[in-house]
Structure 1
Amino acid sequence: MRYFLNIRDGEELLVDPDGSELETVELAIEEAKASARDLMAEKLRAGEPVNGQSFEISDAHGTVVATVKFRDVLPL
């Protein structure tokens, strides 16, 4: 199934135009977690804030099937 990793930043939604072909929603969540870590690292290096962003994972029908908050992927 094709999943889209759309980025929610407050009221703004950055839509993933291509999506990724993944077998399960769990794999889409793992991909979102890895991408969130990469994006946060880039933002930190650039001195940009990283609080509040999340991935809204949607299926091919546009239904949001999971949400991954960027801050939740940080090791504590």
Structure 2
Amino acid sequence: FQIQSERYFFGNLDKNNNKYYFMDLEARYTVKENKLTFSLSGNNLFNTKTFRSFNINDISISKTEYRLQPRYGLLKMEYRF
């Protein structure tokens, strides 16, 4: 069982919301002496839609905005021969 979480905050650089929360989850179960594995994972569980990155230097401020993949889950089965 594994949970990964991250938080980003960019201060008051923009009037928009500059707080970002991310969480992924994975649960894994192994049977048959490491031959058969089931896993369930979920990504972007907080369903964050965009991520804005800021670059500030002496002569300019630039902002890059990324659209993110929406929340999704994956059920997986692995079998080793």
TM-score by length of 1: 0.29
Q: Please state which structure has a larger fraction of its residues in strand.
A: 2
Tell which has more relative contact order, 1 or 2 (C-alpha 8 A, sep 6+): 1
Q: Please state which structure has a larger fraction of its residues in helix.
A: 1
Max Rg structure: 2
